[in-house]
Amino acid sequence: MGEDPRAGYRVGDAERDLVIRRLQEHCATGRLSLDELTDRVAGVQSARTSADLAALTADLPAEQPAHLGTRDPAWRTHAVVALVFTSALTGLWLATSDLTPRPEDDGQSYYWPFWLDLAWGLVLVLHYLRAAGRLTLPRRLARRTPPSRTRLARWPPRTRPAQPWRQAYRTWRTGPTHGPWRR
């Protein structure tokens, strides 16, 4: 019961190339010697099922995802935009606030950009936690990455067949001067 139901599936060139790249990375880190690498690459090229590929990489550690944290370029861009935006709001507040408030001013010096700064800071912290790998999104919210363009011509894949009634509706909608009734 514990075995993989996909173990008997046949593999293609894309899967073989992926395993070869992983073996090359393990050789580069010193886990495999060059002789072992050439033997395993030959085994990968002759493998027919996913079980054959799994046997060639069974004694190697699984691939760990790289968590970037502050090195993530998207997070850095987000942080710069947040810094510029909050600086601009603080500058606007300084330009429009009364620096010498009196008791009858009724909150003229209230720091109103605080709430927007707080929202930006919260979103920035959530983005950092996501980039650092400490926050995971549910599957329905996770970003779908399209496969390579060689495998699918259309992304996202069509979930239903094309409806022939659409063409009939378009023809009917355009009227007798533009449709098949044109004289």
Reduce the DSSP state of residue 10 to 3 states and report it: strand
153 pLDDT above the threshold of 60: no
Average pLDDT, rounded, for the chain: 77
124: its two tokens: 């920035």
pTM reported for the whole predicted model: 0.42
Q: 1: burial class by Cβ within 10 Å (0-12, 13-18, 19+)? A: exposed
Q: Residue 43 contacts by C-beta under 8 Å, 6 or more apart in sequence?
A: 52, 56
pLDDT of residue 81: 93
- pLDDT tens column, 89-102: 999 988 887 767 67
pLDDT of residue 44: 92
68 pLDDT above the threshold of 50: yes
The residue that leads in pLDDT, 148 or 22, is 22
pLDDT of residue 111: 83
- pLDDT tens column, 80-127: 999 999 999 999 988 887 767 676 666 667 788 899 999 999 999 988
Least confident of 25-29, 54-58, 70-74: 70-74
132 pLDDT above the threshold of 70: yes
Radius of gyration of the CA atoms of the chain, in A: 29
CB 120 within 8 A of CB 86: yes
pLDDT of residue 5: 57
pLDDT of residue 1: 42
2: its two tokens: 């514990």
Q: What percent of the chain has pLDDT over 90?
A: 19
pLDDT band at 144 (very low <50, low <70, confident <90, very high): low
pLDDT of residue 93: 87
CB 128 within 8 A of CB 70: yes
